Structure 1
Amino acid sequence: AAAAAAGVERMRLQRLIQEGRLLHPQSYEGLSDLFHALALCCGESPTRPLRAAYAQRLAQQLGGPTRRHLVVLVVGGMGQALMDYHLPMDSFLRQHCHPNRLVATFPSVAPTALATMATATWPGQHGIVGHHIRAHTRCTFASAAAAADNGHALFTCSDDAVVRHVDGPPLAEVKPPTVPPAAAAAAPAAAAPEAAAAAVD
């Protein structure tokens, strides 16, 4: 039954890609390819090259290793639809940005994109896939609000700090609870998977 359900989902996914409602990750060059290309232009190569042909083609378009200066301008939230709505047709960005030229990461949020830029790898490889981090309350501190969130405290990454969404001390002041050695020895082995729940969403 599980194999049949997986087959149905696979066919549905293929249909959505064929209809153009979803974009296959390997359809166009992406940020990982661009930053691999930038590394090539600087005489370096990522430790985990993904699609060398894509990166080499982009590196040639950027000028290759003979290029002396490279500038990367990152503007969060400035998608093609926003530029089409606000900028005149003859603006520099409208003339030089093409919707299918370079695709964003998925999810297309700043932490994911910045990690892709820093590593030249896909989000599934670097593991930064969003803004939120789940931390089990036993690993941080207990509060009524955190307990109401199914035993989890929700943190949001911001530019200069990690801000907590429920009442409690600043994250820098949070200390992990101490467990007496006797209590630790008596803890069931099943507690280990709970630690995995603290992983990034």
Structure 2
Amino acid sequence: MSRNPTQKSAISRKSFSDRRSKLTDSTNVITVRIDDNLNNNLEKVRRKLGISKADLIRNYLELSRYIIKQKSSLQSLNDRDFIIIKRSYLRKLIEKEDEDEQIRLGDKLARFINDCARINGKLDDIFYKLDLCDNLGFFRNFIDDNNFVLIDKKFGSQKFVEAFAWRFFNQGEFNVNWTTSKIDDQSKIRTAYQKQVQPIDISSSHYSFEFAKLPEEEE
């Protein structure tokens, strides 16, 4: 399903400044003693990124909202052990599976995100969950001018992303019959898929769906 070509479809990062301005503007100063090696490493990274050391440290501290750093491991907010792998490698692993398995994996990963959000009482907070996906490296937090969430195609195959997004937006379990072969061969399944999932063509490099449109925020 294609969007009206006269509609504005330029991709932009959604500004949440209005939402953040509603929060109490309070700060705290913390002092931490570190050794010279760690300090030198921070300085190298700071220069590489072209930011101040204070901003670099804040970036690291911000990650505590999304992951737990133990002495010798990384953990999720729901106490699952993490490993770090290249996103392109993960995508290749997913694409090697048949679509039934891709759907299962997408649903399972979205359940993980929902579980992490639920721990913080934010299961229904789409903005928080998008930030979580962004900070965990799944896909960048992009929302277009019409409030559609856009998911980078580098995140995974179409069926993997569809199942992920369906669960992520609290639509329940993705229908296992909505595979490409069944959609192409069976008109009843094709009609149900098109009516409920409603994939839309906003960007050639992103997936987007009618159910993944955010409501307008009240002023």
TM-score range (shorter-chain normalised) is: under 0.3
Q: Greater CA radius of gyration, 1 or 2?
A: 1
Q: 1 or 2 for the larger relative contact order (CA 8 Å, sep ≥6)?
A: 2
Structure-2-length-normalised TM-score: 0.23
Structure-1-length-normalised TM-score: 0.24
